């Protein structure tokens, strides 16, 4: 019996998310930490006032875990350090995530939640997915949705707090939820509408509630979407036709001297060349003036009159029928 229990504990687990992580207490590390660890992060200028006001609260929250916090307004940086009393070796990573979130416009009340064991944080850089700025803005707006409804839906389905700020998206919540948020955001930036991802999440939630379908494969129930990436490449006005392939190089083009020698102009004297050029120019001028005169004369040409067709009244009268009608009229009288 004991051996079977042991195999159950150490054997493969179907659902890892159902496992409870044992709590790490102060008694588990009585010797504390030997070396000081520190992390620093920069923050933008517009966050300076907010951080300055809330810094005493941040220090108080981190002091509970024996973490020292420093704010440098000159350099624009926040630093977290371990002390001799720090007993949790992973709390410095959690503190680093907290200051990173606050630098990315996450409020203090939410950022402090990262210090809990069952809460994780993820900062997703969305600028690397799209090169075109217009496309990036459009897809980011699609992620937020009209009046922030898409973002609110993501928060409700994943149990996470999500903030879209500039070129990053900050997510804060349970480990599984943060994983789902990252997938939705990455798909949205790859031109997959968040509605599809949200629909899939809703179906998964409903299927997990059903005890019969809880341990089955859900692939047949989930919707499948085919991406339709239509190329919008502009076709050129003049399409160049490819010439038949020849292994030989193209023939050498004639230079100006070669052309002049072929026409005989090369052997003419300077005066003769000048006279020839003048003659060519005069011929061009004459041709241009002739065309100009023709174009002006067109205004004085009377338009062609259409021949007047005499409308001859076509009289197709049957005299025999008229006689019959007259006779009938006389008989009636």
Rounded Cα distance, 259 and 127, in Å: 58
At 8 the pLDDT is 45
Q: What's the burial of 66, exposed, middle or buried (CB within 10 Å: 0-12/13-18/19+)?
A: middle
Rounded Cα distance, 117 and 20, in Å: 11
Q: How high is the mean pLDDT in each 10-residue block of the chain (333 residues)? A: 46 74 84 90 93 94 93 93 91 94 93 92 92 92 91 92 93 93 92 88 84 77 70 73 86 88 85 89 94 90 77 65 81 68
At 314 the pLDDT is 54
The continuous run of DSSP H or E covering 41 comes out as strand 38-42
Query: Please, are residues 28 and 73 in contact by the beta-carbon 8 Å criterion?
Result: no
288-301 tens-digit pLDDT:
999 999 999 988 88
Q: What share of the chain is helix, strand, coil (3-state, %, to 5)?
A: 50, 10, 40
Helix (H, G, I), strand (E, B), or coil: what is residue 182?
Answer: helix
56-114 tens-digit pLDDT:
999 999 999 999 999 999 999 999 999 999 999 999 999 999 999 999 999 999 999 99
Rounded Cα distance, 98 and 104, in Å: 10
Q: What is the CA radius of gyration of the chain?
A: 44
> What would the CATH number be for the domain defined by 24-117?
3.30.1370.10
Query: Please, are residues 161 and 171 in contact by the beta-carbon 8 Å criterion?
Result: yes
Rounded Cα distance, 200 and 219, in Å: 10
Helices 175-189 and 149-158 sit at what angle, rounded to 10 degrees?
150
Rounded Cα distance, 151 and 171, in Å: 11
Query: Please, are residues 119 and 173 in contact by the beta-carbon 8 Å criterion?
Result: yes
Q: Which fold has domain 118-226?
A: Ribosomal Protein S8; Chain: A, domain 1 (3.30.1370)
Task: List the structure tokens of 194.
Answer: 């968040």
At 1 the pLDDT is 39
Query: Please, are residues 101 and 114 in contact by the beta-carbon 8 Å criterion?
Result: yes
At 27 the pLDDT is 86
Task: List the structure tokens of 28.
Answer: 């588990």
pTM of the model: 0.62
Task: List the structure tokens of 22.
Answer: 């044992």
Rounded Cα distance, 38 and 82, in Å: 7
């Amino acid at each position: 019996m004991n051996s079977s229990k042991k195999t159950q504990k150490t054997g493969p687990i179907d659902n890892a998310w159902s496992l409870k992580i044992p709590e790490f207490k102060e008694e588990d590390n009585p010797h504390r930490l030997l070396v000081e660890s520190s992390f620093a992060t920069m923050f933008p200028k517009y966050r300076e006032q907010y951080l300055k006001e809330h810094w005493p609260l941040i220090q108080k929250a981190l002091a509970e875990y024996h973490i020292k916090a420093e704010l440098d307004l000159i350099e624009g940086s926040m630093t977290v350090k371990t002390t001799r009393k720090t007993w949790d070796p992973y709390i410095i990573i959690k503190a680093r995530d907290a200051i990173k979130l606050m630098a990315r416009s996450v409020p203090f009340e939410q950022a402090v939640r990262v210090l809990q064991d069952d809460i994780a944080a993820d900062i997703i850089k969305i600028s690397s997915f799209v090169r075109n700025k217009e496309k990036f803005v459009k897809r980011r707006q699609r992620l937020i949705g009209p009046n922030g409804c898409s973002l609110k839906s993501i928060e409700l389905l994943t149990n996470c707090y999500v903030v879209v700020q500039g070129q990053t998206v900050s997510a804060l919540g349970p480990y599984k939820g943060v994983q789902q948020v990252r997938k939705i955001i990455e798909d949205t930036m790859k031109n997959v509408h968040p509605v599809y991802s949200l629909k899939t999440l809703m179906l998964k939630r409903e299927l997990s509630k059903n005890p019969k379908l809880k341990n089955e494969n859900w692939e047949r129930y989930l919707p499948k979407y085919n991406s339709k990436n239509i190329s919008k490449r502009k076709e050129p006005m003049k399409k160049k036709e490819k010439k038949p392939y020849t292994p030989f190089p193209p023939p050498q083009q004639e230079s100006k001297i070669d052309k002049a020698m072929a026409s005989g102009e090369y052997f003419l004297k300077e005066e003769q060349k000048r006279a020839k050029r003048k003659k060519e120019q005069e011929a061009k001028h004459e041709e241009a003036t002739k065309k100009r005169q023709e174009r002006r004369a067109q205004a004085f040409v009377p338009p062609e009159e259409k021949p007047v067709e005499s409308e001859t009244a076509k009289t197709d009268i049957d005299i025999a029928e008229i006689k019959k009608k007259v006779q009938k009229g006389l008989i009636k009288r």
